[in-house]
Amino acid sequence: MTIRLHCFGESGHSYKVALALALTGTPWEAVKVDFFDGVTRGADYRALNVMGEAPVLEDGDLVLTQSGVIQDYLVGKTGQLGWTNEAERREVWRWILFDNHKVSSQVGAYRFQKNFLPEDKRKQDVLDFLQGRLLSALAVLEARLQGRDWLATSGPSIADLACCGYLFYPEDLGFERAEFPHVADWLGRIAALPGWAHPYDLMPGNPSDRA
């Protein structure tokens, strides 16, 4: 049975999972979540995911939520993008948790405030705070990637896919790649992997749909 991924193109967390599926060559189909029409707040969607978030992965009778959990499941299912020992497993999860708290949470909120809210509802002090937090997190990634190709293991892993999830989007993200050359090179290596695709090409949903 083909995996179904409830997702939408603008969702960086969905992209982390969609990219893992694409890079591992796992057959899957996208089920568009109409986030901007409020679907995730409705009773039907909450019955699927009480947290009211995307992505949601369905593999037969198995339903999983939260991108890190889903990525971990795909490592076990495919034997790819994972680790070779317990030390590497811990290192992968260290960077996934760092991303969830320090990277995606900041850049996702900044991107939404800056690009998707009406201009009169944007709060400059909030944007400044989020940008400062994001730049600090990117400085950590920049230092980590000095002299190494991947964040946690000798090859690409779900740690890399977690931390890059929002960084491929074309909207104003609060930083320029040139400010972080090691991060820029790392993103280039990810984009060169067989099966890589831009989030708006990999999943249904694009800001232009609402233009």
Q: Where are the domains positioned within the chain?
A: 3-80+196-210, 86-191
User: What pLDDT, on the 0 to 100 scale, is given for residue 120?
Assistant: 96
Q: How confident is the model at residue 117 (pLDDT cuts 50, 70, 90)?
A: very high
- For residues 9-28, give the mean pLDDT: 98
- What is the distance, to the nearest Å, from the Cα of residue 43 to the centroid of all Cα atoms in its chain? 25
Overall CATH class of domain 86-191: mainly alpha
Q: Which of 139, 209, 208, 130 is CA-nearest to residue 174?
A: 130
CA distance 78 to 24: 7
Write out pLDDT tens, residues 145-197: 999 999 999 999 999 999 999 999 999 999 999 999 999 999 999 999 999 99
CB-based contacts of 48-51 (< 8 A; 24+ apart in sequence): 48/6, 49/6
User: What pLDDT, on the 0 to 100 scale, is given for residue 135?
Assistant: 98
User: What pLDDT, on the 0 to 100 scale, is given for residue 1?
Assistant: 73
Q: Outline where the chain has alpha helix (H).
A: 12-23, 43-48, 67-78, 86-98, 104-111, 124-144, 158-164, 181-191, 199-202
Neighbours of 161 (CB within 10 A): 25
Write out pLDDT tens, residues 99-113: 999 999 999 999 999
pTM for this prediction:
0.96
The residue type of 1 is M
CATH number for the domain running over 3-80+196-210: 3.40.30.10
- For residues 62-69, give the mean pLDDT: 98
User: What pLDDT, on the 0 to 100 scale, is given for residue 139?
Assistant: 98
Lowest mean pLDDT among 35-44, 83-92, 185-194: 35-44
Q: Which of 195, 201, 145 is CA-nearest to residue 169?
A: 201
